Structure 1
Amino acid sequence: MTIHPLVNTEQAEAWNGYEGHHWADHADRWDAAVGGVNNPLLAAAALSEDQQVLDIGCGTGQTTRLAARRARRAMGIDLSAPMLARARATATEQGIGNVQFQQGDAQIHPFDEAAYDVAISRGAIMFFADPVAAFTNILRALRPGGRLAFVCPQDMHRNDWFTAPVTALLGHPPTPSDPDDAPGMFSLADPPRIHHVLSQAGFHDVTTTPVTVPMIYGRDAADAATFFLSSGPVRHQLHGADRTTVNQALDAVTTALRPYEHPDGVRFSAAWWLATATCP
């Protein structure tokens, strides 16, 4: 097995540690939470049965499997070994044979040149250490005229699924990363930045379209709060805290999520950007 180098080492550590195992162990729940963007993403990708698809940051592989059902073959790449193990197992269980998963860093991975017709990504392209270099590498993997389609969150303050529990946890509203272009969940929340990064990487015909979809976060407020506190970043935030502090955090987040309870669960409106571009 060939081991390729990494440049996003901090992300690799997280996604091969607790965070990756958490997503792998709760793949169905995470897919249900963010799966509302699947249809807009795949519609923008405009896949056909003769195409080769590259799924960037494929995680546990739901979008890769969906792409494989529409295309000739799909390959998912991700930093996380535990998530890829879950992706391979699920593909086998579902009898999807035209799919492949590769552990690697998409920013520097030695993709075969012009090997893919379409590249997609569901919320996984905001964490590159050097996004221009990463998208330049992805561009190299696309054939001339190939298509890129991805979704990423809009501004955090348009996404209560993030701000409501985080504000309750911190005791104050969250603030953007410093600097604004640092890797992170909302690093591509500004459409001009998306256009700049993709254009600098060599893509043409860059578009950004707002998409709002429901996000189901749990059965009820208590269930959603417990799940939120078990996620990697929050678990890190509470590391070393005593039981009283943890219980206070759980109570605060539960209270903050109650206004979002609906008959089908804790439901938010999630605001995303759907970005597309073409390879010249």
Structure 2
Amino acid sequence: MTATNQQQINDWNGPVGARWLTYNDWLDERTAAYGQAAFAAAAPQAGEAVLDIGCGAGATSFELARAVGSGGRVVGVDVSEPLVGRARERAQALSLPVEFRLADASRPLFAPHSFDLLYSRFGVMFFDDPVAAFAELRRALKPGGRLAFACWKAPAENDWYVLPLNAIRGIVEQDAVDTDAPGPFAFSDPQRVVRVLGEAGFEGVELQPFEAPFYYGRGDSREAMTEDALSQVFRVGPIARLLAAQTDEVRDKATVAIREALSGIATGQGIAVSGATWVVTARAP
């Protein structure tokens, strides 16, 4: 295991994992449409064996389990102990036959040809060595087995990420997003996706764009929507990390600027921003 992979594991068992656990229901709701697009492309069938990569608290694993039925098999794998623990609790309450493993999906975990389908909703962009990780995952696929996942397109196409950052330009210095590093935008470049999966041994790699509104905030008034959205901006995403080392004065200025930006796009349905993804499919030879 590399040091960088270990850093990701530390993060998802530390503050990042804690935030995702606390706001898991909110995050599941906001990302459901993107996961459904990948689910449709994956087309899980009754009786199939499916691996859910980066399963988090299990929402996608449960959908897959319902699709494959009692004759199928679903295994969810994630590095975050808090999220896997929540997934196991939910599985017991739902009485669904899903196995959850606390493990790094890039490591050898399964016998060759164990699965018909590999699926992920935003769980495959965090590998330090993505070619090696996907080569290992491909070995777990049966010949002709399928891969389908959702990943974010470029930051500039995703206002859920860049809108609050743009609002505080001139207030807080910001580094450019490194889209080659492990993180939410590591697969934003379609050429890189094709190269990585090709070098890992997959065939028939295709990317289809999918966009859907990402609802930051809801409420009965513009003010309520704005405060709901503002609270989420500071809970999940880059803003909390960016402002952590700033003075109270800078944080106050940043809060005012972000509040104004959010209020300016509030509608009767809430505060919606752009969310743009790739739905990636491929198959094992």
TM-score scaled by length of structure 2: 0.90
Determine the C-alpha separation between the residues in 2 that align with 1:212 and 1:68: 26
What is the RMSD of the two structures over their aligned residues, measured on CA atoms? 1.9
Identity of aligned residues (%): 38
Residues in 1 aligned to 2:83 and 2:169: alpha-carbon distance in whole angstroms:
29
> Partners in 1 of 2:85 and 2:245 — Cα distance?
30
Do residues 54 (structure 1) and 59 (structure 2) align?
A: no
Q: Deviations over 1:49-102 (max 9, x none)?
A: 110110111111111111111011211111101111111122222222x11111
- Find the counterpart in structure 1 of residue 190 from structure 2: 191
SS at structure 1 position matched to 2:217 = coil
Shift in Å, 1:264: 3.0
Compare 127-136 and 182-191 and name the one that shifted more: 182-191
Separation in 2, partners of 1:173, 1:46: 44
Q: Which residue of 2 aligns with 1:88?
A: 88
**Are 2:205 and 1:200 equivalent residues in the alignment?**
no
Deviation at 1:232, TM superposition (A): 6.2
Separation in 1, partners of 2:108, 2:27: 26
For structure 2, the 5+ residue unaligned runs are 219-224
> Match of 2:212?
213
Partner residue, 1:10: 7
Of 231, 247, 250, which residue of structure 2 is paired with 1:245? 250
Deviates more, 1:105-114 or 1:189-198: 105-114
Residues 132-185 of structure 1, C-alpha deviations (whole Å, 9 max, x = no match): 01100110111111000001111111111111012224448966434x422222
Residue pair 1:52, 1:74 contacting (<8 A) in 2 also: yes
Matched with 2:41 is 44
Q: Distance in 1 between matches of 2:108 and 2:274?
A: 35
Residue pair 2:164, 2:239 contacting (<8 A) in 1 also? no
Corresponding position of 1:34:
31
Q: Is the 8 A contact 1:226 1:250 kept in 2?
A: no
Question: 2:102 & 2:180 partners in 1: Cα distance?
Answer: 26
* Counterpart in the other structure of 2:284: 279
Where does 1:139-218 land on structure 2 (aligned, <5 Å)? 139-171=138-170, 176-178=176-178, 180-218=179-217
CA distance in 2, matches of 1:102, 1:73: 14
Q: Cα 1:218–1:91, aligned 2, differ >3 Å: closer, same or farther? A: farther
- Map 1:222-241 to 2 at 5 A: 222-231=227-236, 233-241=238-246
Instruction: Give 3-state SS (helix, strand or coil) of 1:90's partner.
Output: helix
* Separation (CA, whole Å) in 2 of partners of 1:194 and 1:176: 20
The normalised TM-score by structure 1 is: 0.91
Check if 1:24 corresponds to 2:24.
no
**For residues 253 and 140 of structure 1, what CA distance do their matches in structure 2 show?**
46
Amino acid at match of 2:193: I
Q: Report deviation, 1:36.
A: 1.1
Aligned length: 274
Unaligned ranges ≥5, structure 1: none
Aligned 8 A contact 1:32 1:216 in 2:
no
Moved more, 133-142 or 86-95: 86-95
Residues of 2 paired with 1:215 and 1:164: CA distance? 12
Displacement of 1:43: 0.9
Is 1:262 the counterpart of 2:261 in the alignment? no
Answer whether contact 2:35 2:150 (CA < 8 A) is retained. Answer: no
**1:255, CA displacement in angstroms?**
1.4
Given that 1:167 and 1:174 are in contact with CA atoms closer than 8 Å, whether structure 2 keeps it comes out as no
CA distance in 2, matches of 1:175, 1:236: 12
1:223 is aligned with what amino acid? D
Task: Provide Cα deviations, 1:106-148, integer angstroms capped at 9, x if missing partner.
Answer: 1114222211110011112111100101100110111111000
What SS does the aligned partner of 2:214 have? strand
Aligned equivalents of 1:274 and 1:206: distance in 2?
A: 11
Mean Cα deviation higher: 205-214 or 108-117:
108-117
Aligned partner of 2:221 in structure 1 is none
Letter in 2 for 1:216: Y
Q: Distance in 2 between matches of 1:278 and 1:165?
A: 38
